[in-house]
Each structure stands twice: as C-alpha cells, then as structure tokens.
Structure 1
Amino acid sequence: MVAGDWLKRIGVLAALLLLSSCYIPDKFRGELRLSKYGDYSLSFKGDLMFAPILDDYRKNKIKPENEAERQENIRRDLSRDIAFRKIESKGKGRFSVEYERVGRLEKVQLTSLIRRDARMLSLRSMENGAIVIRANAMKPSDAQILAELGLNMEGEFRITTDGNVVEHNATVVKPFGTSKVYIWKIENPLAPMPHLVMIRDIDPNRPLAPRASEVNK
C-alpha cells in the first residue's frame, strides 16, 4: 500500500470513529414550532443513515446471513425514542422515519433530536431566558469523507416562532401572521446548519419550573 492510500485509509477510519453512534439525515423535511413562552412541536420526516455501518459495507463485512440482524439492531436503537411514529428500513443502514415530539422547555433544559448521545438538533433553554436551537455541523474534512463514503445530506428545516429572535443564520425568513418562518435549505453537508437564538417571554399564567438546586434551598 502506497503512503497516500495509507493516509487516506487512516483518515476514513478516524472519521468513522468520530461519527460512531451518529445518524445523518437525508432527503428530509423538518419543522420546529416554538412559542415565545417555550412550548414546542418538533417534527422530522425523511431518511436517517447510521454512519458507522458504511465502513462495514466498504470492508465487505456485511453478509446476507448477518445483514438483516444489523438492520434490526439499528431499528431497535431508533425505536428507543417513542417520538418516532415510523421506522422503515431501506437497506444498507438507511431508514425512512417520521418523528413527532411536543413539550415545553423549562427554565434550564436540554432536549434533542434524536437523543443526547446521537443528537442532530438540540434545543437548550438557559437561565438568562435564551433558547438556543442548534444543529450539529461538520468540519469540511469530515464532510468530504462522508461524500467519499456515499453519504449525502439534502433537505429543508423550518422554525416557526412568535418569539424575539436575536440571532439566526436562516437561508430565508418569511412572515406568517404574528410569527416568522425561518427556513434552511440544506444542499450538502457543508451547508450552514440551523442556528437560532430566541429570548423567551415569561408566561404569567404558568411560571417556569425552578431548577432542582433552587427547590432544595
């Protein structure tokens, strides 16, 4: 093996280690409806690919006798989150999914799609009143390796809110009644990932829940 090929192989393996337990979205449409008080409705419809399995396909480790089991293991991992309404295998670690979650962000809280150890999108409420929405971004080097492995990332994500948005990187912003719709067009892994910061209002009819440390004082 020549030095260039060896270095390239090391780079691919390093990226796969970095991406372990990572799901990559593709051909998707996602939406977050977020009120100025912190109530939210999060939906996602599209494909999810389990990145680490690609290396096994590349090395021909996936055989007819174990492929179904590997697919089922991924499906079970996804089904741990009851917010998934649909999980259908499309083969080679790719699943067609539908996801819906509703809730209310308390004073200090972190929630995510899918979950904390495999999150693609995080919703974080902070003590200073800020709510930060952030999707995971990739380094250019990692995005290039994903492209070499046959992964893509195309879709659209929207945030509809009547809150006081103080920072965002949306592709397009449109009025929607008393709210605004922030739209991100994702064409590849190097596209800017959704990021938005909102300052919440305090609902006089429902005070924010205190933190556990405050309750125990």
Structure 2
Amino acid sequence: MAAEWTKRLAVLAALFLLSSCYIPDKFRAELRLSRYGDFALSYKGDLMWAPILDDYRKGKVDPKDEAERIENIRKDLVRDIAFRKIESRGRGRFSVEYERAGRLGNVQLTALIRRDARMLALRSLENGAIIVAANGLKPSDAQILAELGLTMEGEFRVTTDANVVENNATEVRQFGTNRVYIWKIDNPLSPMPHLVMLRDPDPRRPLPPRASEMKN
C-alpha cells in the first residue's frame, strides 16, 4: 500500500512539473545560429499538452467539455505569432509549424514556445556566451513520462559557424565553414540538447545555410 502511494506521489510530482508543459513528438527542428547572434528557429511536428494526456489516461475528460478544452489549448498556442500552422489531431495533440528569426541582444532570453512554456531556450550572456538548451527532466521524472506513454521522438539540429565550446550532440558534421550539431531524440530519457558558443562581436555576417540545402 505504501509503495503504491509513493508511486502515485511521484506521478503527481512529475505532472506538477509538467502542468504548463508541451511535449514535442514526431518532430524535426532546426536552429541556424551565426557567430554574431543572428538566429532562425523552425519546428515542424507535433505538440502534446501533458496535463490533458494524463486526464485521458485516467478517464477524466468529459466528452461534453472535450472540444472546449482542446480549443483552449489551441488558443494558448496561437498567442505566439511565430506559429504558421496549428491543427488539432485530437486528444491534446496538435500538428504545428513554427518559424522565428531575430538577433540576440547582449543579454537576452528567447524561447520556443514562450518563457512560461518553453521547450527550448536561447540565452545570451554579458561574457559573450550563447547557451542553447532544451528543458530536461530528472531521470526519475522522464521514466514516469515513459510509463505514461508520452513519447518525444524527433531530431534537432543546430547549424552554426560559431566557436562552440560545449555540446552533447549525438553527431557533428562539417558543412563548409559551418558545423551541424544533431540530436536524435528517441524518448523522454534521451539526453536533451545543450550547446554553448562564444559570440563574435561583428554583426554583419549572414546566417548559416538551411538544413534542407545540405546533404544528409
């Protein structure tokens, strides 16, 4: 009995952490990042809203309220004008396309999707470093997600000509003067992308090429 209660508390703790969390799935995402801080970020794939997925699992989604709840999730996503497409696939899953570009200031935080619901963050620091980091989970929380049937399959790439001083990419490829850092995400237990680069102060160099222009 005590073991069952402990397990329930662990699930509730994980869901508390995920109470404002979108889960990526079946996705391809790319960040083109110049050594000067210019960036272009794209995401194409699915997003799932974690709390409603758990409610489906528990049979707590009332058919009378289901359409309204899904519409509220869509309204939350549409708040970000970088979404080019948002289509419900039912049961809290949305097929989306997202594109955002800009230039990081000396000290700035920008995120996919938003700061209060971010899956990926780009942070620039006064010392010239730029940190790219996906939100990660503790192994125990990731295991609970896996037990709940929440997958996170996809691929994330960073293409840059910058001086990268730290990364945990699955694979690194050379493409001309650029390097392509590739992360293969298989499940919630996969290492989440992390990369640190040092910015060059000259702001006039163009972005690296798109992944579609490269040979896989």
Q: TM-score, normalised by structure 1?
A: 0.91
Give, as a single letter, the amino acid of the residue that structure 2 aligns with 1:98. E
In the other structure, the counterpart of 1:214 is none
Long gaps (5+) in structure 2: 206-216
* Residues 18, 41 of structure 1: alpha-carbon distance in 2 compared, 3 angstrom cutoff: same
Equivalent residues in 2 for 1:181-192, closer than 5 Å: 181-192=180-191
In the other structure, the counterpart of 2:103 is 104
Shift of 1:90: 1.1
Give, as a single letter, the amino acid of the residue that structure 2 aligns with 1:19. L
Structure 1's consecutive aligned runs of 4 or more residues displaced over 4 angstroms after TM superposition are none
Residues 36 and 203, structure 2, Cα contact 8 Å, conserved in 1: no
Shift of 1:8: 1.7
Q: TM-score, normalised by structure 2?
A: 0.91
Residue identity over aligned pairs, in percent, reads 77
| Alignment of 1:171 onto 2:170 | yes
Structure 1: distance between partners of 2:171 and 2:58: 42
In the other structure, the counterpart of 1:19 is 18
Structure 1: distance between partners of 2:26 and 2:14: 22
* Residue aligned with 2:100, SS: strand
Structure 1: distance between partners of 2:203 and 2:74: 42
* Residue aligned with 1:52, SS: helix
Equivalent residues in 2 for 1:74-85, closer than 5 Å: 74-85=73-84
Q: Which has the higher contact order (CA 8 A, sep 6+)?
A: 2
In the other structure, the counterpart of 1:40 is 39
Structure 2: distance between partners of 1:42 and 1:204: 18
In the other structure, the counterpart of 2:87 is 88
In the other structure, the counterpart of 1:212 is none
Per-residue CA shift, 1:168-216, capped at 9, x if unaligned?
A: 111111111111101001111111111111111111669xxxxxxxxxx
Give, as a single letter, the amino acid of the residue that structure 1 aligns with 2:142. A
Give, as a single letter, the amino acid of the residue that structure 1 aligns with 2:81. I
Equivalent residues in 2 for 1:59-74, closer than 5 Å: 59-74=58-73
Structure 1: distance between partners of 2:38 and 2:204: 13
Task: Select the structure of larger CA radius of gyration.
Answer: 1
Question: Aligned pairs, how many?
Answer: 205
Give, as a single letter, the amino acid of the residue that structure 1 aligns with 2:23. I
* Residue aligned with 2:165, SS: strand
Equivalent residues in 2 for 1:197-216, closer than 5 Å: 197-203=196-202
* Residue aligned with 1:76, SS: helix
In the other structure, the counterpart of 2:140 is 141
Structure 1: distance between partners of 2:160 and 2:183: 14
Shift of 1:7: 2.1
CA RMSD of aligned residues (A): 1.3
Structure 2: distance between partners of 1:134 and 1:193: 7
- Pick which of 182-191 and 55-64 moved more: 55-64
Shift of 1:98: 0.5
